[in-house]
Amino acid sequence: MSFSDEFELLLRARYPLIYIPTREEERVEAAIAQCAKQGNRSIYIWDFVDGYQGNPNDAGFGKRNPLQALELVEKVPPTVPAIFILRDFHRFLEDVAVARKLKNLGRALKSQPKNIVLLSPQLAIPDDLSEVLTVIDFPLPNSGEIRLELERLLTAMGRSVDARTMDDLVRSCQGLSMERIRRVLAKAIATHGELRPEDVDLILEEKRQTIRQTQILDFYPATERISDIGGLDNLKDWLLRRGNSFSEKARQYGLPHPRGLLLVGIQGTGKSLTAKAIAHHWHLPLLRLDVGRLFAGLVGESESRTRQMIQLAEALAPCVLWIDEIDKAFAGVDGRGDAGTTSRVFGTFITWLAEKTSPVFVVATANNIQALPPEMLRRGRFDEIFFVGLPNQEERRAIFAVHLERLRPHNLKSYDLDRLAYETPDFSGAEIEQILVEAMHIGFSQNRDFTTDDVLEAASQIIPLARTAREQIQALQDWAAAGKARLASRQTNLSGRIRSDEL
């Protein structure tokens, strides 16, 4: 049911007191005016500074006096259909006189065609008013409304864009208020006189401004590309097939929004890099959740922060929500002595994972699969669970190539990639990067460029995690070999044991 349909239903059912939490005053007032026009109702709008506006007979009435603003409701004849919109009225609900007056009006208006609408940028209802106020959500602009606004703007400019660019712009604007959308589009037009595909970055910056207002999520800049990932061919193919899954064309085809991925595997194998590459490749904002920020000291605050995180992520959808090392956050969830706070946060979170319909693509990473509650692994929470193991020789060669092409793009051919890949068994991608950093230190200290021999010398000085944590890694490989996750690489050897002579 749309907002207009739900609001009209409340008007017909004579719900006297309606509370709408929204930051889009102008847009919601326009929607209410449309409903009022259809029902032949008068509209009275009040704010604290200017009092009532629009009606010459009552202009300025109730200025700086919220109690007087409510008294006007009684002065309008009982048979006259009317809607009274009170802006920022949540600030006065704690006043005992205002609260009592609202309760009295709630009784009186049940038999009158009059409704009081409280507008507020946040949901803040005292307990003693929770029974008399009816809350109705006013959603952000949907893709259809955004598309109409873009088309109106392009028509006014006498310009047009191709269908792919239009889809990208519409998708990027979702999660912003109409005012912010108009502002950022005006900025794009002021920059180069038209709308271009690269304006998606301007829109993402506008979303970053929204994220900065919260301390729960971080807007993480994603510059990594799919091509920056060495190996993991199965995982990359899976992602590339879903590159357009957030488009309007995919909705018309009948495809649901992708739900997310759980990446399980050994530390330093590219799980976090994959999350960043997904956001960059799909042109979506990347939100990073530190689960520890959800937990707070006050009773009920942790659950409230969890709901706020969900609302914020859905408001900025479509987006990628990256949850790094989720196993550490919810390990032993049933045995914690925190009065059940962790269990309630976990329950709210996994319920949202299973039931969400918003285009929030969740990428969760975990190093210790045994620490995760079984509910997290049930099908329906994520589209797929991938196991990211240690890179094989071919993948190590690709990882060396990616890093050396970035570090020494004009001298790449001087390095023996095949030898480097062969001489570094059981090294992860992160450890290979550290090897190259150490080799650069060797070359720099001798006032020369680093060579293949320097890289091999650095490798001999580093003990990989596969050797220091042999039992844990072997347990992970055994878990994946049992068919409990899809392999991210095409040639992962899960049956072989780590050689004891390398320990």
- 275 in the same domain as 202: no
As a whole number, the mean pLDDT across the chain is 85
pLDDT in tens, 29-87: 999 999 999 889 999 999 999 999 877 778 889 999 999 999 999 999 999 999 999 99
- 384 in the same domain as 290: yes
Strand ranges (DSSP E) for 326-468?
Answer: 360-366, 384-388
pLDDT band (50, 70, 90) for residue 494: low
Does residue 484 belong to any structural domain of this protein? no
Tell me the DSSP string of 111-163.
GSSEEEEEEESS----GGGTTT-EE---PPP-HHHHHHHHHHHHHHHT----H
Number of domains in the chain: 4
Which residue among 213, 234, 252 closes a domain? Answer: 213
Note the pLDDT of residue 117: 96
Q: Report CA torsion sign: 128, 133, 134, 135.
A: negative
Query: Which of 328 and 384 is assigned the larger pLDDT?
Result: 384
pLDDT in tens, 97-132: 999 999 999 999 999 999 999 999 887 888 889 899
Q: Would you call the peptide bond into 409 cis, given omega within 30 degrees of 0 as the criterion?
A: no
Instruction: Supply φ then ψ for residue 82, to 5 degrees.
Output: -155, 155
Query: What is the spatial distance between Cα 33 and Cα 52, in angstroms, rounded to a whole number?
Result: 16
The structure tokens listed for 156 are: 């006014």
- 454 in the same domain as 330: no
Query: What is the spatial distance between Cα 258 and Cα 261, in angstroms, rounded to a whole number?
Result: 9
* Contact status, residue 51 vs residue 63, Cβ threshold 8 Å: yes
Tell me the DSSP string of 230-247.
-S-HHHHHHHHHTTTTTS
- 364 in the same domain as 225: yes
Note the pLDDT of residue 499: 40
- 302 in the same domain as 232: yes
CATH number reported for the structural domain that contains residue 419 in this entry: 1.10.8.60
CATH number reported for the structural domain that contains residue 188 in this entry: 1.10.8
User: Which residues share a beta bridge with 135?
Assistant: 19
Instruction: Supply φ then ψ for residue 289, to 5 degrees.
Output: -105, 120
* Contact status, residue 416 vs residue 450, Cβ threshold 8 Å: no
CATH number reported for the structural domain that contains residue 280 in this entry: 3.40.50.300
Note the pLDDT of residue 50: 93
- 224 in the same domain as 364: yes
Does residue 470 belong to any structural domain of this protein? no
Does residue 327 belong to any structural domain of this protein? yes
Query: What is the average per-residue pLDDT within 140-153?
Result: 88
Q: Residue 10 is part of which domain span?
A: 3-135
Which residue among 369, 388, 407 closes a domain? Answer: 388
Helix axes 200-211, 178-192, angle to 10 degrees: 140
The answer on pLDDT for 299 being more than 50 is: no
- 267 in the same domain as 124: no
* Contact status, residue 225 vs residue 277, Cβ threshold 8 Å: yes
pLDDT band (50, 70, 90) for residue 497: very low
The answer on pLDDT for 288 being more than 50 is: yes
Note the pLDDT of residue 223: 80
- 402 in the same domain as 287: no
pLDDT in tens, 378-423: 878 899 999 888 888 998 999 999 999 989 988 888 999 999 999 9
Does residue 436 belong to any structural domain of this protein? yes
- 436 in the same domain as 294: no
pLDDT in tens, 198-241: 888 888 777 777 777 667 788 877 788 888 888 888 988 998 88
pLDDT band (50, 70, 90) for residue 447: very high
Which residue among 153, 185, 213 closes a domain? Answer: 213
pLDDT in tens, 254-277: 888 889 999 988 888 888 888 888
Does residue 474 belong to any structural domain of this protein? no
Does residue 311 belong to any structural domain of this protein? yes
The structure tokens listed for 319 are: 């987006």
Note the pLDDT of residue 500: 35
- 166 in the same domain as 36: no
- 270 in the same domain as 375: yes
Note the pLDDT of residue 502: 37
Does residue 487 belong to any structural domain of this protein? no
Does residue 450 belong to any structural domain of this protein? yes
Query: What is the average per-residue pLDDT within 320-330?
Result: 84
Per-residue DSSP letter, 481: I
- 249 in the same domain as 302: yes
* Contact status, residue 77 vs residue 109, Cβ threshold 8 Å: no
Q: CA-CA-CA-CA torsion for 268, 271, 276, 281, nearest 10 degrees?
A: 130
Query: What is the spatial distance between Cα 398 and Cα 395, in angstroms, rounded to a whole number?
Result: 5
